[in-house]
Structure 1
Amino acid sequence: MNGIKIQVQEVTDLDIVFGGWAMELLPTYNEIPEEFREGRKKWNKLISTWFFCGLKSCKWMPKEGIDTGKALKHIKAILR
């Protein structure tokens, strides 16, 4: 992701169910590379589909050193 370093935070199942702290989980707007800020890029489409329709049969390939389960909980908490 063009050098952006986002720390995956610990998120509990309760955080996912009740949400409400997305702003603490998201990077600041200025930390997000321009290519991800707006437009209909593949990542914007993926998150939109996940939020509105859900994803089925999705296989995640995280970057080296990223815990898939922890990262997915982080994303789910933001989406809720």
Structure 2
Amino acid sequence: MSTKSDSTSVNMDHEGCSIRKVMVELHSIPRVSIEDEFHDFVTEYLSLRRKREMWASMGDKEQKLRWLQRMYARTKRA
């Protein structure tokens, strides 16, 4: 079940938190490749609005990337 905070309605996105804007920023990080499993995880992970809002609050791109890498590592341990 989806909640309003996780819906994909653009009208509910905070500034800079749309899927398009988040993906553009993600793809601007040189070490991120659309050819790997990490990218697959990130696209699914950031499909949730609350995760995109967290992404936007993480600081610079390097901090954002490290945060996503930690979230990815958690899924591998589970």
TM-score by length of 1: 0.29
Q: As a proportion of its length, which structure holds more helix?
A: 2
TM-score by length of 2: 0.29
Higher relative CO (Cα under 8 Å, sequence separation at least 6) belongs to: 1
